[in-house]
Structure 1
Amino acid sequence: MLTAATPFISRPSHVTTRDGAELFYRDWGTGRPVVFIASFSLPSDMWAYQMLPLVRAGFRCIAFDRRGHGRSSDPGRGYDYDTLADDIAAVMDTLDLEEATLVGYSMGGAEAVRYLTRHGTARVARLALIASTLPMLAKTPDNPDGFEPAHVEMFQRDLVTDYPRWLAENARPFAGPEVSEAMIEWIREMALRTSQFALSACYGTINGGDFRAELATLDVPTLIVQGDHDASNPLELTSRRTAALMPDARLVVYEGAPHGVFLSHAEQLNADLQRFASGA
């Protein structure tokens, strides 16, 4: 347990990937590692209200900025799931992490799954999927409840015409009614600093993903958290189906929670993550 007398260890730096991208990461505390993978459009700063409580509970918390996000480089390439999974591997291998709990939010959950199916589970003891885009968002003949192509096209149009307006209109539904305006403005400011190339490419990747076969192969213990008021990734389309596909998954539904559960239900999420990362 971290106390006032315990040195706070922070090792912020960068990892260079195989294709030359520079990934900023933050590394706080000591103990069992918990690795956080952020949402599409947001940097690792989004996890501040999870990382510090977990560090104080005795965990080592690592988070990195996806390429084109935050303080990482903007290479204009590599936004497919395989490359993004390799970026996770670069961080995990550089820091030589073992017995880690991997926590992925929204798109980050899909990246975490692709990391595990592509690189194996040797470094990971547990997986937490928070409001993830899994298993598949697009509408197809065998996924008839998915999003219509027009849904994707509308965002791509907003991105190249007036992304700040889109953020302003969608920030409150994302965060929910109880989150302060100041907190919402903080999230908006971070999203506005993200590369537009990365935003467009990642959004295409998200909506082209199909993880149904991969999820069935993962036997790592998995915690799935989703709000039942999530307008971005509806519960019945995403986490409910993900839990049914995975052999060792537990779904926890937050009543009244929007997509941004890391803001709206931070205390509840932190308690669940702490118990899960402890092996409880």
Structure 2
Amino acid sequence: MVKYFCGVDGGGTSCRARIVDEQGHFLGEAKTGSANILLGVELAMASIEDAISQAAHQAGISDLSEISVGLALAGAEQKSAWLDFMSLPQPYGHFTLNTDGYGACIGAFSGENGAIVIAGTGSVGIYLENGNQHVVGGREFPISDQGGGAVMGLRLIQQTLLAHDDLRATSSLSEYVLTHFDHDLDAIVSWSKTAKPRDYGQFSPKIFELAMQRDELAMELLQGSADDVERLILGLNRKGASQIALMGSIGERIVSWLSPAAQALLVQPKADAMAGAILMASGDHNLYPFPR
């Protein structure tokens, strides 16, 4: 018998789980590693189970079958990955899965109509309107996810290599990257063969830091990401969204780089993606993330 609800927000960098009781009272919360199912469904499940176990331990819950789980995960928009993930064994009383964007949008507007743009490691825009969802972007790194930290980091690596070859001016930021790799270009090439989105995204804090110090490359990269985020915002507006919550580690810090027109559309989210996933776990707002 289900007695508890757990909301899970999983992206390319981290996975967070929050457990509440039937009255919505907070019981426990934990954070673990990547839960993007396109990076491996078993890896994602391991992160999710670890986060839920830690949160359940805080809550004093020993029987995991008493928990209904709502999952808002990056990569869930791809049908084959969704099916592979949902076929894995799991110990919970109920289990539902949609995208991280869907969970964030449900949380941001408490299940009502509204739109969000997430810019974290990746990016996506979603507009929920009377049970219908309109999605822009979010087709995963490297072919999509513009405005996210991974694409920003990829562009940084590209521009650093150009600077090294005297094809553009060097800067404190490009020197920082070269120092990170001990000025070994072969090391950069080898790293790139196995680097995950979160590995590229690790450079975004330094980009923000040096942009504030007027580093030319950092400002160029940050403005490029802001332009990408703005494209998602205005795209949702053209689909009918008049209130858009900007969320994620990049989105929350990039507002001042957006145009006044884009900033005028922004509103504060009411709650986060874990709150949205808890609504999913309770049996509300369970659309499929892809055409069936």
Indicate whether the TM-score tops 0.5: no
- Greater RCO between the two (CA within 8 Å, min separation 6)? 2
Query: Which protein shows a greater Rg?
Result: 2
